[in-house]
């Protein structure tokens, strides 16, 4: 049963892996934080005076293939979207994240390992009340045939449509309400995806050096090259929904509204948040009473949900 207090982790969690872009080992430690402190990243490999990077929409550097945060001193941390989605999916809004390098580890390309570690560590209440961002009016952004939109609703829902020429992906659409652990059961294990031709080009250019068949679904024409194939028949569109939840978490509080994306990516979702906060009449902060808090992501999550995570 949910209550009306903001959540953090019960104890620190340490996860190690490799960076998607560099291929270098990276260590991330996610620590409890007091209420109303939000999510902050701290680079442990740079001067402590320059190392803090708040996870807010205004610190996002718009890039097509990942979400990178950068502070006023130019210190950045990339590939944060899967970690942010795991936190948002569990309703965790306060954490300090220590990262040993310029990017969060890619792990298996989904949010599953983060979710598993967080649930095992436990989720704790803070003294601060739950606050949310209520969408009051529709806000939309469009770019190059893609669009992202937020509309009023009584809870957070995410719908997405994608359309790829590759027959192994094609057209896919899905829609989910995010309450009652739906993120864990339906999205958390869905991996990032790409075409083999794109991987070959990036590797040849010295990019995505940590990318492999083990941390992404790699498609080649009508074939799935990654071991074990797909985890779900529509895994690509579900991963786009996972990304959207992580990018929406940069709003700084849970969103009460319906998100709809069509061929949208990280940059467009960030552009949507920028337009939202530039439109004062389209939103408001609210302090959530219990019936509202019960519909937020993570409100009814338990260790039993681990069985649904790959």
104-134 pLDDT tens trace: 999 999 999 999 999 999 999 999 999 999 9
Domains in the chain: how many in total?
1
Positions marked catalytic: 266
33-72 pLDDT tens trace: 999 999 999 999 999 999 999 999 999 998 878 999 999 9
Structural domain range at position 304: 5-308
How far is Cα of residue 86 from the mean position of the Cα atoms in its chain? 6
Which residues, 6+ apart, have CB-to-CB distance to 224 below 8 Å? 168, 217, 218, 230
DSSP state of 296: S
Q: Which helix (H) or strand (E) holds 97?
A: strand 95-99
Domain CATH code at residue 279:
3.30.1700.10
What is the SS3 assignment for 27?
strand
Which residues of the chain carry a pLDDT beneath 70? 1-2, 202-211, 303-310
Question: Measured between alpha carbons, how far is 213 from 227 in angstroms, rounded to an integer?
Answer: 7
CB 266 within 8 A of CB 62: yes
Question: Measured between alpha carbons, how far is 168 from 92 in angstroms, rounded to an integer?
Answer: 35
pTM: 0.94
pLDDT the model gives residue 1: 40
Structural tokens at position 73? 């001193």
């Amino acid at each position: 049963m949910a209550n009306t207090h903001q959540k953090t982790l019960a104890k620190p969690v340490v996860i190690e892996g490799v960076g998607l872009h560099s291929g270098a080992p990276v260590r991330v430690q996610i620590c409890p934080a007091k209420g109303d402190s939000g999510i902050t990243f701290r680079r442990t490999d740079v001067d402590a005076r320059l190392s803090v990077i708040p996870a807010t929409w205004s610190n996002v550097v718009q890039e097509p293939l990942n979400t990178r945060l950068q502070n006023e001193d130019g210190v950045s941390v990339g590939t944060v979207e899967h970690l942010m989605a795991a936190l948002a999916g569990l309703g965790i809004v306060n954490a300090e994240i220590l990262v040993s390098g310029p990017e969060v580890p890619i792990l298996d390309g989904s949010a599953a390992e983060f979710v598993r570690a967080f649930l095992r560590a436990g989720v704790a209440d803070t003294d601060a009340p739950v606050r949310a961002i209520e969408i009051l009016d529709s806000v939309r952004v469009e770019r190059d045939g893609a669009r992202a939109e937020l509309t009023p609703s009584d809870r957070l829902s995410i719908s997405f449509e994608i359309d790829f020429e590759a027959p192994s992906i094609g057209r896919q659409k899905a829609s989910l309400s995010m309450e009652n652990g739906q993120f864990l059961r339906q999205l958390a294990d869905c991996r990032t995806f790409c075409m083999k031709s794109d991987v070959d080009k990036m590797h040849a250019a010295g990019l995505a050096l940590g990318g492999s068949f083990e941390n992404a679904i790699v498609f080649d024409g009508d074939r799935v090259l990654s071991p074990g194939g797909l985890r779900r028949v529509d895994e690509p569109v579900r991963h786009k929904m996972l990304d959207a939840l992580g990018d929406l978490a940069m709003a700084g509080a849970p969103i009460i509204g319906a998100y709809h994306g069509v061929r949208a990516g990280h940059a467009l979702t960030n552009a949507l948040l920028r337009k939202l906060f530039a439109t004062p009449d389209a939103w408001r902060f609210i302090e959530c009473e219990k019936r509202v808090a019960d519909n937020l992501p993570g409100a009814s999550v338990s260790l039993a949900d681990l069985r649904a995570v790959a």
